[in-house]
Every structure is written in structure tokens, then in C-alpha cells.
Amino acid sequence: MAQANVKMPIFSQEETSYELKVPYLKKLFRFLLPYKKWLFLTIIFMFIATVADLVSPYLLKKAVDDFIPKKDFKGILAIGVLLVLTLFINKECSKNKIKLANRTGQMVLFDIRKALFDHVQSLSFSYFDRNSTGRIIVRIVNDVNTLNNLFTNGIVNVITDMSSLVLATVIMFSIHPKLAAVTFTVVPLFLAILFATRNAIKKNWRKVRRKIANLNAYIHENISGIRVIQAFVRQKVNKAIFKEVIDDVFVSWMKAIKINNLFGPFVEICSMIGTLIIYWYGVKLLKINGVTVGTLIAFVSYLDRFWRPVVTLSNFYNQLLVASSSSERIFEILSIEPEIKEDENPVDLSTFKDSIEFKNVWFSYKDDNYVLKDITFKVKKGQMIALVGATGSGKTTIVNLLARFYDPQKGSILIDGIDLRKISFRSLRRLIGIVQQEPFLFSGTILDNILYGRPEASLDEAIGVCKFLGVHEFISQLENGYYTQVNERGTRLSTGQKQLICLARLLLQNPEILILDEATSALDTQSELMVQSALNKVTKDRTSIVIAHRLSTIRDADLIIVLDKGQIVEMGTHDSLVSKKGVYYELCTSQVRFVKAG
């Protein structure tokens, strides 16, 4: 049977511009301001190391021209001591320069990454709706990592190299201006090569970065979807696709390296030509106006110190290009304002006293496509309210608005007569506890997860909550009890066990208003019975808003709200709604027919 061709995937990538963006670099360098003392000290060490290095050829010139011809042993010995001293000073200052530069650079990266992480945590849910997790992680990790070379070595090295270039040039012209001028006739040739190769190098490395981004995306997708891959036995096909992806990276990388490596030999050639000019023209000057052998030796040494930093300086421009592009994406996130903001003078609600009220609430995730239309209802303290309706009817959106993960475009939501927009985030979310359909556990121990909302709580308090919910027994049977490590998302536990731990975490926080977002819909029958029993204990004497997929669990609700396409179509108790034989009645009878058919 013919097999369909499997093409290499192309992942959507952001258009990346590698033009120098000075305003973003200025913003980036502001992160250096708290460490300007350390940077200044680094530059001092750098300058001393550079001067010590540049003194050596001049000392050698003095030895060759003044002391060796006269067989002045003391003078030669003094020069030798001075050479050793300059070498020691150079090495010690260079060591301290590198240490301080790396410390300063890492502190700057720490501050940038922390600022990004703190800001991302403050952003509204709408931002995460529009942006993938992978894209956000790339900002905090990869984009900041690309600044590593710039801040740890790049800035200090470019100052070092510029100082070395300038000082070497000044010294050469001060020793013999005519010989220096002739020596630097090779510089225009170098500049021509630099401008000819720079664009090609930049273009090819840009292509490499795109290929690597494609590789990372494919790896991320495959690891995330490993269960589906194994279920469909796609390993062999995916292996072939992955080979194409890494081959693509390999080819583009080798091409970029090939072009990049041409630059080094060009610099060597220019340096060699310069050296030949020194010897050719210098020998002529020896006969004409007394250029000494020491001068020629010093010139060759200084020429080496001139060309040595050139490669670093030319690469620094590429570092700036990458840094400006990364900084643009970093500041793009930092400039985003949270859509859900706390009031300048928020009200702290210490307790829930009376009621929750939705008044003519309209909400849209995008444009004017409203998913909630004119929602009005009231929940009294101690009541259980159930939200029912087909998928997409707006049930989860209502509870998201109550927790103020979003704000309505029209209407208002009140707790005890106070608009949610006036209530502080901390007090609002201390009052409200949410049990989600998909339980989420963090890496760490089971105890860490139970204490997540109240880290100051004691072990005895955590155990007491677990015993109350009937969770203590299964936790105690694990290899390390409450100190058993769980992987990210709790993959070592069943969905029911994870949900029970999440309930313990919630009950330890002791919220007065409870939201249950289809908390048992993903469970098997036995796990559902365990979780439902725990839920009954949690909801007792609390105000509860329940999104139910099994209508039998909400028969005793004080008020059932039936939603259809974002509108309330029915409200009442179970018995009153069944007697109407409307939408709710149809939902009940269809579930009964489904259960009987099963």
C-alpha cells in the first residue's frame, strides 16, 4: 500500500530583524547602573593590564638599542625585572578584570531575568491566551542568555581592545611617525574585507538561528506529545523527520562557520603584510635616518597588539546586533501593561458577609464577539449555585470573571455590594478557592503542594486537613508519605489522587467562597466517588458555585442557572426546572438516556 509523504514541519516563527536598535540597547545598559562601581573598578584593572602589556615592547626596544650594544649588565637586568613585573601586573589585573566582569555581567542578567519573571507573573490571563508557553520561556531563558557574552565579556573586552588599539597606535606614531604611517597602509584593505564579509556572516548566522529555533520547536512538540506519538507508533516516522531537521541545522551551521572562518585568515594576512612592510621599509630607514633594530622589534610587537583585538572588535558588532534584537523582544514584554489592574486604593475584604451579584454582565475575549450576554444573578452567603449548559455556553467564563482573571466589558460584579474592581487582589483571592477540572501539582513533595497556599502552616495542620478529607490514608501508604517527591504536574499520581491533594491544598487555605469547575469530569467512577465525598466536606457551610457535568450531583443546589450561547435561559431549583420541561429537563433526560444506553 502506498505511503503518504511525510514532510518536515515548519513551525511559525517570529520575524526577527537584526538591525542595530540603539534605543533598546540604551534601555538594556540601564541595568548596568546599579553596578557602575563594579564596572568602573573592572575598567581600572583592564586599563592597568593594557598599559602593562604595551610597556613590554618599549622595554624590549630599550634593551636592544641601549643596553645590549653597551653590554650594560645592570641595565639588562633592570629591564628583565621590569618585564617580569609588567607580566605579573598584566596577569593579576587581567584575572581580576575577568572575575569582576563576569560577576557584574551575571548580576545584570540576574536582574533582567528577575524583572522579566516578575512582570510575566503580573500579566493578565488574556496575555497567556494569546501567547504560547514556549514563546514566553524563550524570552526569559534564551533571549536573556544571548546577552551573556555581551555583559560578561563583550563590553569590558571592547573597552580593553579599543584602549589597546589606540595606545598601540599612539606609541607607534610617537616612536617613528613615518614608519607607523606606512605600516597602517594595510588598514584600508582590512576594512574592505570587513565590509565585504560582514553582511554574508550576519545573513548566514541569522539562518542558523532560524534552523535551531525550528529544531527546538520540534523537540518541544515531540516531548509534549510523547503519549500520542507512542499511541500511534509514530517513532520511526518522527525519527526520519528529526534527521531532516538536524541535517538542516548541520548544513546551515557548517556554511556559516565556513564563511565566518574566512575572516580570521584575512586578519592574519593583513597582519603579515603589515609586518613585511615594517621589515621592508624599516630596513631602508635603517640606512637613511637611523631607525634602530629595537624600533623594528617594538613595531612588530605593537603591530601584533594592534591586530590581535581586531577580530574581537569585529565580532562585537555581531554581539550588539543579537543583543539589540533580544532586548527588543525583552522590552516588548516589559512594556506590556496588565489588562487587569488593582485599584490605586483597593478595599481589603477580611470576610464574606452577604452576597455575590452579577449585574448585566457582558464579556468578550476578542472584539465584539460576546461569550456572555447580559448575565444577571445573585448568590446569597451559604448557598450552592450550579451552572449548567453545553460546552461553550459560558460557564467557565463566569467563574473566571468572579475570580477577576478577566474584567467584563459591560456591567459589574459585586461582592457584599463592592465592585470587584475596587477589591484588592490578595483579599479577593483569599476569599475565593477554585477547584479546576485538571488538577495541577508542582515539582516537589506532596507536603510542599499542600502548603502551597499557606506555606506558614504546620505539618500537623496539613495532616489534619488530609484526615478530614480522607486523603491521609493514601498519602501515608506512599514510600515517603508526605515527603514523597512528585514530578512536574504530579505524573506519578493518578488524576483522582492529584485532585484530592489539590482539595487539601484548597481547604488548608480555608476560602469562604468555593468554585468547582467540573472537578470530577476527568475521573473514573471510583475516583469520582472519593473526590465527590471530599467535595461534600469542603462545600459544607460554604458559598459554592459549581459547574457540573453530571446533573445528578447538583439536585440539592439552591439555584441552578442554565446557560445557552452565553445567555441565561432558565433559573430555579432542580424540581422547578424539571417541571418546566425546558432546556434543563432536556439535559437531564439526555443524560439518563446516555447512562441507560451505556
* Residue-level pLDDT at 2: 41
| CA dihedral for 588, 594, 597, 598, sign (positive or negative) | negative
The 10 Å Cβ neighbour count of residue 400 is: 17
* Residue-level pLDDT at 4: 46
Q: Is 439 in contact with 495 (CB distance < 8 Å)?
A: yes
- pLDDT, mean of residues 214-239: 79
Which cell numbers in the block locate residue 493?
Answer: 499520581
Nearest partner of 301 among 142, 434, 167, judged by Cα:
167
Which cell numbers in the block locate residue 387?
Answer: 451552572
CA–CA dist 350, 381 (Å, integer): 15
Give the DSSP H/E element, type plus range, for residue 212. helix 187-224
CA–CA dist 392, 444 (Å, integer): 35
| pLDDT tens digits, 343-374 | 889 999 888 898 999 999 999 988 778 999 99
CA–CA dist 169, 33 (Å, integer): 32
CA–CA dist 590, 585 (Å, integer): 9
> Across the strands, what pairs with 545?
385, 515
Q: Is 64 in contact with 293 (CB distance < 8 Å)?
A: yes
| pLDDT tens digits, 395-437 | 889 999 998 999 999 999 999 999 999 999 889 988 998 887 7
Residues of the chain with CATH 1.20.1560.10: 22-334
Q: List the alpha helices (DSSP H) in 63-132.
A: 73-122, 125-130
Identify the band that residue 22 occupies on the pLDDT scale cut at 50, 70 and 90. Answer: confident
* Residue-level pLDDT at 236: 86
Identify the band that residue 569 occupies on the pLDDT scale cut at 50, 70 and 90. Answer: very high
Is residue 170 over pLDDT 90?
A: no
Residue that is written with C-alpha cell 502551597 in the block: 452
Nearest partner of 570 among 593, 547, 552, 587, judged by Cα:
587
- pLDDT, mean of residues 71-91: 88
| pLDDT tens digits, 457-503 | 899 999 998 888 888 888 898 888 889 888 765 567 888 888 888 88
Identify the band that residue 314 occupies on the pLDDT scale cut at 50, 70 and 90. Answer: low
% the chain with pLDDT above 70: 85
Higher pLDDT, 296 or 238: 238
User: Crossing angle for the helix pair 73-122 and 293-334, nearest 10 degrees?
Assistant: 10
Nearest partner of 394 among 412, 378, 380, 408, judged by Cα:
408
Which cell numbers in the block locate residue 218?
Answer: 520540534
Residues of the chain with CATH 3.40.50.300: 355-597
Is residue 15 over pLDDT 50?
A: no
Q: Is 416 in contact with 352 (CB distance < 8 Å)?
A: yes
Which cell numbers in the block locate residue 369?
Answer: 464577539
Show the 3-state SS of 361-382. Answer: EEEECCCCCEEEEEEEEEEECC
CA–CA dist 549, 115 (Å, integer): 41
Q: How many angstroms separate the Cα of 471 from the Cα of each of 317, 459, 462, 492, 533?
A: 60, 14, 11, 16, 11
CA–CA dist 513, 420 (Å, integer): 14
Show the 3-state SS of 137-159. Answer: HHHHHHHHHCCHHHHHHHHHHHH
Which cell numbers in the block locate residue 399?
Answer: 467563574
**The most confident of 140-154, 348-362, 542-556, by mean pLDDT:** 348-362
* Fold for the domain defined by 355-597: Rossmann fold (3.40.50)
Rounded (5°) CA angle 397-401-405: 100
Task: Compute and round to an integer the Cα radius of gyration of the chain.
Answer: 36
The 10 Å Cβ neighbour count of residue 191 is: 11
Residue that is written with C-alpha cell 569590558 in the block: 156
CA–CA dist 589, 173 (Å, integer): 98
- pLDDT, mean of residues 141-146: 79
Which cell numbers in the block locate residue 548?
Answer: 457540573
* Fold for the domain defined by 22-334: ABC transporter transmembrane region fold (1.20.1560)
